Structure 1
């Protein structure tokens, strides 16, 4: 099954961003591939936006160019405006205190 156009566009952009990061660091593909433990063919697929590359290989390549910390923050709650908004709507409007037990002597 083929991914949606939005997914393909996002993966193409990710690949271009990885390529640009590699080039800014003046790293040849062979060095990044070796550091990441992937083949040149796999690195080329990632940089060209191939949707069939595993997330593990992408993570290894990001690590090789020093961008791995960005991966762990992708779906974090700080970046999930829609999820936080939905969670906020489900919060109780008010919180009632428990009744204090009456002291009967």
Structure 2
């Protein structure tokens, strides 16, 4: 079953957050994959926002690099990515900037 548009957006943003958190902590992809018990290829799929990876592996990797899954990346929705709690790294990522989802969630309320 294919992911819906909103689910695809969430997967992409979560993958971006995971990658930025890994880089900010100076963790190599090989080290993180090994720590999570997954292949480097699987980690690349997670970081690129592939919907074909195990949600357990995604949550495990997010936890290892310190990406919040509640009241952070996954816990809020808003009408705009500017200052949105769902996209906290947009304003603070320095040279590396997360891109908002292809479709911005409109008229959504906090989860």
Same fold per TM (> 0.5)? yes
1:71 counterpart (54, 69, 79): 69
Where does the alignment leave 5 or more consecutive residues of structure 2 unmatched? 76-108
Structure with greater contact order relative to length (CA < 8 Å, sep ≥ 6) = 2
Tell me, in whole angstroms, the C-alpha distance in 1 between the residues paired with 2:60 and 2:110: 29
- Which structure is larger by alpha-carbon Rg, 1 or 2? 1
Q: Secondary structure at the match of 1:2?
A: coil
Residue aligning to 1:34:
34
Displacement after TM superposition at 1:64 (Å)? 2.2
Where does the alignment leave 5 or more consecutive residues of structure 1 unmatched? 76-80, 84-105
- Kindly indicate whether the alpha-carbon contact (under 8 Å) linking 2:11 and 2:50 is maintained by their aligned counterparts in 1: yes
Deviant stretches of 4+, over 6 Å = none
1:82/1:32 Cα in 2 relative to 1: closer, same or farther (>3 Å)? closer
Displacement after TM superposition at 1:3 (Å)? 1.3
Number of positions where the alignment pairs a residue of Structure 1 with one of Structure 2:
77
Instruction: Report the RMSD for the aligned CA atoms in angstroms.
Output: 2.2
**TM-score w.r.t. structure 1 length?**
0.62
